[in-house]
Amino acid sequence: MLQIQQNVSLKNFNTFGVEANAHFFAEINHEDELVELFMDPQWQQTPRLVIGGGSNLLLINDFDGLVIRMNIRGIEHRINHNEVFVEAGAGEVWNDLVNFCVQRGYAGLENLSLIPGSVGASPIQNIGAYGVELKDVFYSCRAFEINTSQFKTFTKADCKFGYRESVFKAELKGRYIIVSVKFDLSLIPNLNLRYGAIEEELANRGITEPTIKDVSQVVSHIRVAKLPDPSTIGNAGSFFKNPVITVAEFEPVKEKFPEIVNYPAGEGLIKLAAGWLIEQCGWKGKVVGNTGTWKNQALVLVNHGSATGEEVYNFSSQIIDSVYSKFGVSLQREVNIIS
């Protein structure tokens, strides 16, 4: 039976570890519970926040509405020749799914090892790391439409994936709740070792013919070295997106800062490393009150203990302002700001 709790602390449901209360809180363990929940028309009208691992959120205030925590579990797998279809419940922990696949030799998710968060959140911002994005392995997802209480399957094309973007963050924002995701994996690894640090670490370990397990271990090692562990230092990964600008916008910046870190990002577009821009403004490893940037990765904002969401948000505005005044480049927040 679905239970709706009142005045629930969200401190343990957001990896930033900031204090905020949910007026109403429901945990969904089975997709039928979504149908049951929305049979009561009051929840159609109430502001809603759907959370998984809470690893891409910054809560600025108490949430005066209904928080829905997705906890649907289960992983199913089906092998067809060399292709493997793996379908996981939205509430599965992302890295548990990666380990499930790596242990069985199902290739495709290894570069995405140790990303915090849940399976259901992964398509929303098309998670990515070390040369691979979710869209490279995504097959489809099943989602609940709040207005109609119907379930719908979204193909890869339906999701309109882009860099940290999807239809669920854009035109369909707030209309669907993802209940499961299906991945198209392979028994024949097609390793992606383009990211320099992976090659370097494999060489350090004397590995010349890596398996997907090796890649998963190496990626995990790189992440642990660079990124703070949310269970000890509150954070939500990269706080900003890497800005994508046109070549015309890039030229004058490059002239002034020839050493600027940049990558081609498609026809006429350049992606800049936000971490580099922030570091150049002197913010790397800075502690400001209870917040700051991480010492090994300036793109990650951290909670040094008792930061409020507002404090982190104000600090992020300071960073945006200083990057803009030095480089003329606008940083966009990647983390979901809930106010």
| Residues tagged active-site | 164, 238, 334
Q: Is 24 in the site for ligand EPU (CB under 6 A)?
A: no
Q: Could you tell me if 67 and 22 are in contact, meaning their C-beta atoms sit under 8 angstroms apart?
A: yes
**Rounded Cα distance, 29 and 281, in Å:** 45
Q: Is 210 in the site for ligand EPU (CB under 6 A)?
A: no
Strand spans (E) along 31-97? 48-51, 57-59, 63-70, 75-80, 83-89
Instruction: Pick between residue 83 and residue 279 the one whose CB is nearest to ligand EPU.
Output: 279
Selected range binding ligand EPU among 38-46, 205-213, 276-284, 316-324, rule: CB under 6 A: 276-284
Type of residue found at 200: E
Q: For residue 241, give both structure tokens.
A: 């997106």
Q: Is 166 in the site for ligand EPU (CB under 6 A)?
A: no
Non-local CB neighbours of 100 within 8 Å, separated by 6+ positions: 75, 86
Q: Is 284 in the site for ligand EPU (CB under 6 A)?
A: yes
Measured between alpha carbons, how far is residue 333 from residues 185, 208, 249, 330 in Å? 31, 39, 20, 10
Q: For residue 212, give both structure tokens.
A: 């997907």
Q: Is 242 in the site for ligand EPU (CB under 6 A)?
A: yes
Non-local CB neighbours of 225 within 8 Å, separated by 6+ positions: 296
DSSP state of 35: H
Supply the minimum distance, in Å, between the C-beta of residue 332 and ligand EPU.
10
**Rounded Cα distance, 253 and 329, in Å:** 9
Supply the minimum distance, in Å, between the C-beta of residue 170 and ligand EPU.
18
Supply the minimum distance, in Å, between the C-beta of residue 295 and ligand EPU.
9
Q: For residue 17, give both structure tokens.
A: 């570890």
Q: Is 207 in the site for ligand EPU (CB under 6 A)?
A: no
Please, what is the angle between helix 94-104 and helix 212-226, to 10°? 150
Selected range binding ligand EPU among 101-109, 175-183, 297-305, 323-331, rule: CB under 6 A: 297-305
Three-class SS of residue 227?
coil
Measured between alpha carbons, how far is residue 109 from residues 81, 120, 250 in Å? 19, 15, 33
What is the distance, to the nearest Å, from the Cα of residue 7 to the centroid of all Cα atoms in its chain? 27
Measured between alpha carbons, how far is residue 118 from residues 70, 74, 96, 123 in Å? 9, 12, 9, 10
Q: For residue 124, give both structure tokens.
A: 């929303």
Q: Is 327 in the site for ligand EPU (CB under 6 A)?
A: no
* Member of 299, 302, 307, 323 binding ligand EPU (CB under 6 A): 299
Q: Is 237 in the site for ligand EPU (CB under 6 A)?
A: yes
Supply the minimum distance, in Å, between the C-beta of residue 333 and ligand EPU.
10
Q: Is 201 in the site for ligand EPU (CB under 6 A)?
A: no
Supply the minimum distance, in Å, between the C-beta of residue 325 and ligand EPU.
19
* Member of 72, 112, 241, 250 binding ligand EPU (CB under 6 A): 241
Q: Is 298 in the site for ligand EPU (CB under 6 A)?
A: yes
* Member of 93, 193, 261, 269 binding ligand EPU (CB under 6 A): 261
Instruction: Pick between residue 102 and residue 146 the one whose CB is nearest to ligand EPU.
Output: 102
Supply the minimum distance, in Å, between the C-beta of residue 242 and ligand EPU.
5
Type of residue found at 21: N
Binding mask 80-119 for ligand EPU (x = CB under 6 A): ----------------------------------------
Three-class SS of residue 56?
coil
Selected range binding ligand EPU among 22-30, 94-102, 249-257, 296-304, rule: CB under 6 A: 296-304
Q: Which residues bind ligand EPU (CB under 6 A)?
A: 129-130, 226, 237-238, 241-242, 261, 273, 275-276, 279, 284, 297-299, 334
